[in-house]
A and B are shown apart, each in its own frame.
Chain A
Amino acid sequence: MGLSLQLVLSSDPRLLCVVRGAVDRLASVAGFGEEDCHAIVLAVDEALTNIIRHAYEDRHDESIELSCRVLENGVEFVMRDHGRPVDKAKVCARPLELVKPGGLGTHIIRQVMDQVSYEPLTDSNQLRLVKYLAKA
């Protein structure tokens, strides 16, 4: 079995920093440099924040499953929640020309990650993020 890490966390924002620590170290183990590790941490954090705020509508007692896997050429994160499905059409980064406070998280995720796929399943929602190591 390849290197993997499974976390089940409450949708409590106080746990975001805990997850960031784990993701940072995992990305480093996967071979990413400091800047990429930070970017990966940011993207995963943004995704979890979106789940807390939108799927769970800021309820802090729900469950989020985070699966992290080191690939041969990168790293994969799969997040699963049991909250409100998001309208896929709205899982698009908004135009950044509009300077307003919200809607930046999705943009950041898409900027950082090489693959972003969101899928509402029968009883859950699944978000998969993949970042590949730069070719030498």
Chain B
Amino acid sequence: METTLRQTGSAVIVDVVGDIDLQNSPRLRKTLLETLQHAPRVIVNLAQVRYIDSTGIASLVEGLKESQSRKNRFILFGLSKPAREVLRLTRLLTVFEVYETEEQALAA
């Protein structure tokens, strides 16, 4: 799994590529929490996530909770089929702010 950060205005986009599982979800968690420390809006691009399990979802939930405690925005977009399915199974799809495209996520 790789993550890259892009700054667009006040938002930081976190592009996530690859598989998110027990091996690398701690890295995702660390990236999200560190980014939330300085970015009022963190937008996570999941379009190239081939696989995500509950440890990956847990990292996203931790990001969401951190954003709520900081009163920041935490947004997901481009949910890949695997990501959408796991969020649906765990009934967390409606908990997150989710958009189809980067443009929609930035405009939100």
Interface residues of A (CB under 8 A from B): 13-14, 16-17, 20, 35, 38-39, 41-42, 45-46, 49, 52-53, 96, 99-102, 104-105, 107-108, 111-112
Inter-chain CB contacts under 8 Å: number: 67
User: Which one of B3-11, B37-45, B71-79, B82-90 is at the interface?
Assistant: B82-90
By DSSP majority rule, is chain B's interface helix, strand, loop, or mixed?
A: helix
Interface string of B50-91 (1 = CB under 8 A from A): 010111011101101100000000000000011001100111
Number of interface residues of B (CB under 8 A): 24
* CB within 8 Å for A49 and B55 given contacts A14-B23, A17-B23, A96-B90: yes
- Can you list 8 contacts pairing A with B, beta carbon distance less than 8 Å? A17-B19, A20-B51, A46-B54, A53-B22, A99-B95, A104-B58, A104-B90, A105-B53
In the assembled complex, the Cα of A99 lies from the Cα of B91 at a distance in Å of 9
Contacts of B85 in A (CB 8 A): 35, 38-39, 42
Chain B residues, Cβ within 8 Å of A99? 61, 64-65, 92, 95
